[in-house]
Chain A
Amino acid sequence: MKESRLRRRYRAERRYRFYGKAAIAFAVCFLFFFFVAIVSRALPAFSQHEVLLRVALPDNLLKNLSTAEGEDANISEGAARRMLDAALAQELGGGGSAHERRARRALLTPLAALDLKRRVENLSASSVSSLSPSLLLPSWSLSFALSSSSERFLRAQSGGEQVADPALSDMQRDMLTALDAKGLVAKRFNLAFFTRSDSRVPSAAGIRGALLGSLWALLIAFLLAFPLGVLTAVHLEEFAPRNRLSALIEVAIYNLAAVPSIVFGLLGLVVFLNWWQLPRSAPLTGGMVLALMTLPIVVVTARSALKAVPEGIRNAGLALGASHSQTVLHHVLPQAMPGILTGAIIGMARALGETAPLLMIGMVAFIAQAPATPLDPATTLPVQIFLWADHPDPAFSSRAAAAILVMLCFLVAMNAAAVLLRQAFERKRQR
């Protein structure tokens, strides 16, 4: 054996092993880098800067509230805006020209006036007296969300970088710094992200509508795909005779599993929307398309679960005089049910992340209200992420990243549930 050749072969061996380790390292590093990128982008979305302002309630309003019994105060949006302007002017100083008033108002979110209007309308006589000890000082301390450009400026400032943001003028930047220096700016947890639906304003945009839309769609997909998938699997495993029809069914299922998801969207567009005139953008239609996509997965996992049921149980049932159908229904199916459910959960987890087919059936519109029924127009979580990711305002893309984290949490929970379910029932079977 020539020494040099042997050494070369060992060098090749080391190189080969190195390639393998490098490949794995590449994949793992990507995963790590990927999560870091998404989490770092998502963090700003979980907090919202707010400024504390003292809003003076107008006299006629106070009189209304103190005299009437349980009557709600109603003000117009214009009146609310004037109250807001007064509070801002009091805090920041500056002139009363329309331009300067607009500049000050632009520091807050565009929905601030509406927000104030709503809060005033929720007042009642009793709560007014609790706001101020005496009617001589009718002012109310409220927090208002800042606009996304203000937030960007403050975040950059606290990070130590100087941002030349074209959205803010120098005057506005000084005003923000002044407010911050007075300690009136606080960073609060962005609860609106979870309680509100989509909005044109980032500070009021949340995933509630998308979450509900996803839940409705998944529920409908489950209700359709699970029974049909299990019945198909039972048929193929237990009852189907070896004829061409059964072979055709198996081929069809294999094909369906391989069809790209967008083609299912096209099917939904033509058949569900065009031929059957189902409501566009509704979780019902989305759920039906998702059900068709999840069907092959449910069938395949249900079949393997049924195959795994030991022969002994079948024999015992048949020996007691139960018919084939009764054995399957009463003994085999319940025994296989944990495995089937595991597969269904995994199928649902995959359906949760599907976007392309839902785009085709129109769930891509701007929906500002959460759906009350499966027939209302809605969007789903992945579609919401898609819509927000496209937005030029970086506040929206950070909300998209935050929504991604929420979706990943759901996926982890579902997959963990499936694994735990499988383990629990395997342990039960061994006992």
Chain B
Amino acid sequence: MTTPDKHTDKPAAAKRQRAKIRARAVNVYYGDKQALFQVALEVPHKQVTALIGPSGCGKSTFLRCINRMNDVIEGCRVEGELTIDGENVATLDPVALRARIGMVFQKPNPFPKSIYDNVAYGVRIHALAQNRKETDEIVRQSLARAGLEQEVASRLNDSATALSGGQQQRLCIARAIALQPDIILMDEPCSSLDPIATARIENLIAELSQNYTIVIVTHSMQQAARVSHRTVFFHLGRVVESGETTQIFTTPRRKQTERYITGRIG
């Protein structure tokens, strides 16, 4: 298991500190109930940022704001400014936006189609390939990057639902990276998987972070410590503290953060 040691490499670190996603005064309401209060944070470029906090504190809600999946929920209202590469997401077209951002869900949700068709679906609707050969190449590459190619290369036409849980989740990751997104959002991707599958996905995340900006919501602090470069601690809809992972876990600035990390709350 590799630890992200990249911040010791100074020139690369300077390049990577550029903010990819920036949130300012984001408030989210479900009907009359407010779920997020004045959230402000920055997600740096090509690094893994973990959102941690007790359940129901708004981490998944914030994640869904980034690719505007909250629009799908009836009665949900998002206020404030959330920019990606300087552009406010509220002004962008959601369909185009979601093609630039990949999302992996808590429970693997492959389509009841073949493995090939699952990965090729996004490619086809956004017309990223001109012909069958190009699609094949994209599918192969995505499966390879997701670490699934060797296992399924011989049975691409089999149903995706026949794969194991861990394989299905990697398929969902392959499906997302087939669109060559800039950002990958992961909402507790390992919570329904066994430890070995979890380990494989965490390795995958480390590899992917070299090319993609990753935001991961996780319940497990150990996972956050293992996998991320930056961590943001949420509590009851507010950002309590955000900073470099090692700093948060060894010398947290806020009392609440310390209480959560040592297990007294959440």
Contacts and interface: CB of A to CB of B under 8 A. Distances in A.
A and B in direct contact, judged by CB atoms within 8 A: yes
Contacts of B126: 1, 5
Interface string A1-42: 110011001100000000000000000000000000000000
Interface stretch (B72-80, B93-101, B182-190, B238-246): B93-101
B127 interface: yes
Nearest to A1: B96
Contacts of A6: 93, 95-96
The residue among A1, A5, A6, A9 with the most chain B CB atoms within 10 A of its own CB is A1
A221 B126 CA distance: 60
A10 B96 CA distance: 11
Nearest to B126: A1
**Interface residue tally on B, bucketed by range:** under 10
A5 B95 contact: no
Contacts of A5: 126-127
Interface string B67-109: 0000000000000000000000000010110011000000000
Contacts of A10: 95
Nearest to B97: A1
Contacts of B93: 6
The residue among B99, B100, B125, B127 with the most chain A CB atoms within 10 A of its own CB is B127
A257 B127 CA distance: 48
A1 B95 CA distance: 10
**Interface residue tally on A, bucketed by range:** under 10
A6 B93 CA distance: 9
Contacts of A9: 95, 125
A2 B96 CA distance: 9
Contacts of A2: 127
A10 B125 CA distance: 12
Contacts of B96: 1, 6
A2 B100 CA distance: 13
A145 B93 CA distance: 74
Nearest to A10: B95
B84 to A, nearest CB: 14
Contacts of B125: 9
A5 B100 CA distance: 15
Nearest to B100: A1
A133 to B, nearest CB: 80
A65 to B, nearest CB: 82
Interface in B25-73: none
Contacts of B100: 1
A5 B95 CA distance: 12
A2 B128 CA distance: 10
A368 B119 CA distance: 73
Contacts of A1: 96, 99-100, 126
Nearest to B96: A1
A2 B99 CA distance: 12
A234 to B, nearest CB: 38
A172 B46 CA distance: 99
B126 to A, nearest CB: 7
Contacts of B127: 2, 5
Contacts of B95: 6, 9-10
A282 to B, nearest CB: 55
B123 to A, nearest CB: 13
A6 B94 CA distance: 11
A14 to B, nearest CB: 13
Nearest to B128: A1
A160 to B, nearest CB: 54
A6 B92 CA distance: 12
B10 to A, nearest CB: 36
A2 B93 CA distance: 12
A410 B95 CA distance: 52
A4 to B, nearest CB: 11
B183 to A, nearest CB: 15
Nearest to A6: B96
A340 to B, nearest CB: 36
A1 B96 CA distance: 6
A325 B124 CA distance: 61
A12 to B, nearest CB: 11
Interface in B101-159: 125-127
The residue among B93, B99, B125 with the most chain A CB atoms within 10 A of its own CB is B93
B182 to A, nearest CB: 12
13 contacts: A1-B96, A1-B99, A1-B100, A1-B126, A2-B127, A5-B126, A5-B127, A6-B93, A6-B95, A6-B96, A9-B95, A9-B125, A10-B95
Leading 9 A-B pairs by shortest Cβ distance: A1-B96, A6-B96, A1-B99, A5-B127, A6-B93, A6-B95, A9-B95, A1-B126, A10-B95
Interface of A: 1-2, 5-6, 9-10
Given A1-B96, A5-B126, A9-B125, 7 more contacts: A1-B99, A1-B126, A5-B127, A6-B93, A6-B95, A6-B96, A9-B95
